[in-house]
A and B are shown apart, each in its own frame.
Chain A
Amino acid sequence: MSSGKVTVEAKGERELVITRAFNAPKDLVFQAHTECRHLKRWMFGPDGWSLDVCEIDLNVGGKYRWVWKKGEIEMGAGGEYRVVSRADRVVCTEQFDNPWYAGEAVSTLTFDESGGVTTLTNTMLYVSKEARDTVLQSPMEEGLTLGYDRLESLLDESAAAAGGE
């Protein structure tokens, strides 16, 4: 049962704002975003990606690390918590091990509860407009796949060039 539709707004030049309402108190939505046993249950990608490694030190200045896995392929990301206001707000940095966009992103999660429904807002701030638009075009595992596709098409091109000569 879905409690609401996800909305996405490309705000200003460097932000993506993702919002979604959940039929649950904010304490639980907060826990689901900050505890590994819960994150492993939902924060994976489609097509067989699982969140294999999860480490979280939920304190200001504390680090977190996530590693997704699909078959033999791994993709890691991590960052540092800057603001931890239990059940209301979390601010953390986010950087992938093999980023396909420039710089470190800053994610601000806010949890607003009203009448048993919690509205989650995730504001992602990127270092540049280019980085923001790259993420919008290839979120997460698509970015990785895109990397492989690029390599493949490069190989195809050089093979075609070699064959043409």
Chain B
Amino acid sequence: MRYLSTQSRQLDATFAALADPTRRAILARLASGEASVNDLAKPFKMSQPAISKHLRVLENAGLISKSLDKQRRPRRIEAAPLKVANEWIERYRQFWEVRYDHLDLLLEEMMIEAKPKTKRRRKENE
């Protein structure tokens, strides 16, 4: 139980961090390799403190970390929390997939039923 609540908190932090487009763009950039704060700030029309604030949110969520290089302090992506978030989404998705597969079958039936009815109606009108 305690394990689940820790996982829930982690997931909350992950989704909150991912809710912002700038932070998603930063993660996308870091997915192709580590980068310094300056490098990360370049593509955005934002001040370095504003970027640093986003980096702190990502760091607190455990999505990125600082490399050991003390001078440049490049950031790098941490894959594990993202993987957990994706797994929850995938399980939820499968829950709906089962239902919608049944709905597919029902719709096929409904379409077959709908066709003869229109023909019959036409004949009745004749």
Contact = CB atoms under 8 A, between A and B. Distances in A.
B11 A137 contact: yes
Contacts of B104: 1-3, 22-23
Interface string B7-27: 010011001101100000000
A5 B85 CA distance: 19
Per DSSP, chain B at the interface is helix
A6 B111 contact: no
B107 A29 contact: yes
B107 A28 contact: yes
A22 B103 contact: yes
Interface residues of A, number: 42
A46 interface: yes
Given A1-B104, A130-B12, A133-B15, A28 B96 contact: no
25 contacts: A1-B108, A2-B104, A3-B104, A6-B97, A10-B15, A10-B85, A16-B92, A20-B96, A22-B100, A24-B108, A28-B107, A28-B111, A38-B106, A42-B99, A42-B103, A44-B99, A44-B102, A46-B95, A130-B12, A133-B8, A136-B89, A136-B92, A137-B92, A142-B95, A150-B1
Given A24-B110, A130-B12, 12 more contacts: A5-B97, A6-B97, A8-B93, A10-B18, A24-B107, A28-B107, A44-B99, A44-B102, A45-B95, A129-B12, A136-B88, A142-B95
